[in-house]
Structure 1
Amino acid sequence: MQSLNTITLHYLQAFVLSAELGSISAAARALGKRQSQLSGWIQDLEAELNLELFTRSGNSLQLSPDGHTLLPLAQHALAQSNRLQAAAYALQQHQQLVLVVGVAPHIPQQLLTDAIVSFIQEQPQVQLRISTHSEEVLTQGLVEGVFDVVLLHESIELHNSRYDYCRVGYYDEVFVVRSSHPLAVKPSVGVEELAPFRELIWAQDYQQSADESGYSGHSSQIADFGTLKGVLLKTDCVALLPTLMVASGIHQGQLALLRVNNELSTIRRRLELRWPLGSQHKTLISCWLRLVCQTLNNPDSDTPPDR
C-alpha cells in the first residue's frame, strides 16, 4: 500500500457521500461536481488503499465488505476535519457582543441562575439572551447558527458529527398536590388513585406537549409556572414538576409530596449542552460552557423533605 499522505479529503468525501446516498451520481450532485470526477476520486482512493470499496454491477453500487469496515473511519476523519476548520474559523472571528442560548421545555431555567450571574459579572458588555423552544427547533437552530449554545434533555446518541456536546448535570421531578388534598395524608398512592384528579402540565411549548398524557384521564396545560402553582394551591389537581420549582412550597407546608407506588426511585432528568462544531474556542461560548458546567455539575440538593 502506498503512503496515506496522498489521500485527500476530496477522496474521503466522495467515498462517504456515495455510500450514504447510494450512488456516485447523487454524491456528485450534492457536491456540485461531475460524476466522472467523483468516480476518479473513488478509484484513486481504492488504488491508494489497494482495496475495493464498492462492488459494481451495472448501475448498482454496493459497499464491499472492506468498504463497510472503512466507512465509519472515513466518516470520523471527515467529522474531525470539519471540527478543525470550524475551530480555525472561530479563532479568526472578532469578539461577539451577544450570546444566544436556547433551553428545552420543562428544564427549569433556575438551574442556570448562578451561571447567569457569573457570566454577567465576567462579561458586563455582552447581551445574554435565553429563550425556550422545542428540542427540534433548538437542534435545527444550532446547525443553522441561530443559537450559540443549547441546553436539552440527554440524548441517547453516542456520537454526532453535526455539533459538539457535553452531558452535564440533572434535575429531579416529583409529584405534588396542595397540602389539603385528599391524597396528601397517604404514605403512598397507587396510580389508580390519581386517575380521578386533573393533572396540571407545565407546558411551555404546546406543540411538544399536546400528546402528553399522565396518570389522569384529563389534564390542563399551562405555560406560566406562577399560574400553574396558583391553580394547584386552589384545587385538588396533581402535578409532576421539577423539585427545584416546588421545594419552597413544600418547605412552607403549602404543597405536599406524593409517593407514587410505581415511581419509588427519584425521577431524574439528565441534561446535555450542545454547541456548533469548534465554537468552544470562541471567548463567549467558552465562558458560558465553563460556567454552566460548573453550575450543573455541582447542583445544590433539591430533595424535598419527608412528610
Structure 2
Amino acid sequence: MAYRGSVRPFVNFNAKHDAEILHRAMKGLGTDEDVVLMLLAARSNDQRQQIKAAYKTTYGKDLIAALKSELGGSFESLIVALMTPPVLYDAVLLHKAIKGVGTDDDVLIEILASRSRPRLRDIVKVYEKEFGSKLEKDICSDTSGYYQRLLVILLQGSREDGVDEANIEKDAKDLYVAGEGKFGTDEEKFITILGNRSAEHLCKVFAVYQKLYGCEMEASIEGETTGNLENLLLAVVKCARSVPSYFAETLYRSMRRAGTDDATLVRVLVSRSEEDMLDIAACFKRKYGNSLYETVKEDTSGDYQKCLLYLCGPRD
C-alpha cells in the first residue's frame, strides 16, 4: 500500500549531526526556532528518537527538557508532541484527558474510536508502564453508563474480522428495532453491534439500513441518543466509513470556532502525520472546498504556523 503520511523519514539521516545542529540552535542568547522546526518537522518520529538519544550521549542532557527551556506556548507543545513516540503520545493524551479536572471526553472519543486494534492494545500496555495504573480502570472511574461500556468495548481492541454476509441485514434490522422502530432506545444493542463489528461489515450494514429505512445511521443515532454516548457512537460510525474523513471534520471544527482549538489541531496533525495525513487533506478539500494547508495558514501564525504547515503536507 502507498505511504499516505505527510512526514517521511529523512533520506541522508545522521542523528549525531542533527543533535549538533539543534545544540547550536539553542546555544547562547535566544534560540533559532527556524532551525529547530525545520529539522524536527522533516524527520520521522523514529529518527527524532535517535536524535534524542544522540543528544543525551553527546551533551549529557535530555533534548526535550532543553527544548522546553528554550521554547514556549503552542509552539513548545507542538515540538514536544513531535518528540514523543506515537503510542506514548496517545497514552499521555488519554492520561491528561482522564486525570485533569473533569474529563476531556473529546480526546477519549477520538482516540478510542479511530485507532487500530493493535494500536489500542499497545496503548493499554504503555499506559500501565508509564502511569502505574490500568487504563480501563481509570476510564471507568471517570465515566458511566452506556458511554463507559462502549469505551471499554473499544478499548479491548478485539473487533471481529471481515464481513459476516449472513448477518448484515439482521444487524441493520436490529439497529432499527433498537432505535427508530421503538419507543425509547435499546442502547445495549447499539453498543454491541457498533462496538464489535469490523469497519467493512458496518459499512455494509449502514448501506442496507439506508436502503430499508431511508435514513442514514448518523441521523438515527442523533435522534435516539444524547451527550457523550451520542458523540462516541457518531465517531465510531464515521470512523467505520472513513477515518481520514472523520479527522478532516475534526480539523475543520477545530478552526471554525471563535478562536482556534490549538490542542485539537496539534493532536490531529501530529498523530496522523505518519499515518494518513495526505488522505485527510484530500478529504478536507473535497468536503470544505478550501485546502487544509490554506485553512491552517489563515488560523495560525509564527513558528507554530510554519511547523503545522509542514505537517499538513503539500499546499494542494
Normalised to the residue count of structure 1, the TM-score between the two structures is 0.24
Normalised to the residue count of structure 2, the TM-score between the two structures is 0.24
Higher strand share: 1
Higher helix share: 2
